Amino acid sequence: MRKMCVCGKSIKYNSSLCHECQQIYGIKVSEWPEWLKWLVADVKREWDHERYRDDLPYDDLTDFVEAYV
């Protein structure tokens, strides 16, 4: 999964905004409009969910554990 800026451009995993959006809105989160803070937080939630979700459904995980017990 690629991390996306709120404008739709691909960004590095450790960035919140692309270079162009940083020039427009700045790098200080405290100076961003509320809607931008919300969108960046929403993108981060989606990104974290994809990075930390389990790949195995519960039933498959149970079968996997039972096979090795």
Summarize pLDDT for 5-52 with one digit per residue, the tens: 999 999 998 899 999 999 999 999 999 999 999 999 998 898 888 777
Q: Into how many domains does the chain fold? A: 1
Scored b (16 or more CB within 10 A) or e, 4-31 reads ebbeeeebeeeebbbeebeeebeeeeee
Residue ranges making up the domain that contains 20: 3-67
pLDDT band of residue 67 (cuts 50, 70, 90) is low
Which pTM value belongs to this model?
Answer: 0.67
Query: How confident is the model at residue 16, as a pLDDT?
Result: 92
- Whole-angstrom Cα distance, residue 50 to residue 22? 24
Query: How confident is the model at residue 22, as a pLDDT?
Result: 96
- The answer to whether residues 15 and 3 touch, using CB atoms and an 8 Å cutoff, is yes
pLDDT band of residue 69 (cuts 50, 70, 90) is low
